[in-house]
Amino acid sequence: MVPLFAKEYGAGKTLLFIHGFPMHQQVWEDFILPFVKNYHVITLDLPGFGKSPGLQSPFSLDDVADQILTFIDEKELHDIAVIGHSLGGYVALAMIAKEPDAFSSICLFHSTALADSREKKESRNKVIEFVEKNGSEAFTTNFIAPLFADANNASIEHVKDIAKQSSAEAVMGYTLAMRDRTDKRDVLRDFQKPSLFIVGNRDQGIPVESIHQQVVACNFSEMHILDQVGHMGMYENPGESAIEIMAFLAKI
């Protein structure tokens, strides 16, 4: 196991927040403040991002999931509510596929159980080619702004600063891992525990209709649509996002 860098706050039921690509746990820094009053909150850096050492390439999202599951086992955590943003949601689904009994619920925050489409896979390949030629900072600098519905959002520069810390190895490794991940809709259907999708109605990468179809197919799923939000609800509308997650947790 690689030693994962993590921060822990508060006490109570464990909430595990997993960040997206190509970021690290700092994206949750302000967002988690309402949760720490009543929950045991953990944020961590995925292997290769932030302060967590990377995995040897090539690696899969299953390999990433194994690292976090080992972390969970070592801390003797159970009945965990996992909140995964984008890539973090893919990793959360891989974890639940392996050890569903460790988790009480899942929130897919701007994430999906679908595998990449053919067009998306081609886009991932272009990212790898670009990073090989131009480096990771050139990619991450341009990648962040389109995640926001408002190109003038004041948080864009902050998220860029976080993303720019990502190495080329991590960016390319996770791009390959995301490209090759499998469809996880069966994992959600078999989980038989509550799941929440939070989606932005202006998310360029995850259409609302695709989430609606997943929710309909799962007996224990629900969704909330954030108006005028792209892919970064924790910055674009943190208040409504937090309220919806808290309401969801209160039902469990």
Would you state the structure tokens that stand for residue 4, as one six-digit string? 């994962």
Would you state the structure tokens that stand for residue 79, as one six-digit string? 């009945």
pLDDT grade for 219, boundaries at 50, 70 and 90 = confident
Domain ranges of the chain: 6-116+182-251
pLDDT attached to residue 217:
87
Would you state the structure tokens that stand for residue 209, as one six-digit string? 């209709």
DSSP 199: E
**E strand intervals along 72-122:** 80-85, 103-109
DSSP 99-113: -GGGEEEEEEET--S
Architecture of domain 6-116+182-251: 3-Layer(aba) Sandwich (3.40)
Q: pTM (2 decimals)?
A: 0.97
pLDDT attached to residue 88:
98
pLDDT attached to residue 215:
96
Do 178 and 124 meet the contact criterion of CB atoms below 8 Å apart? yes
pLDDT grade for 252, boundaries at 50, 70 and 90 = confident
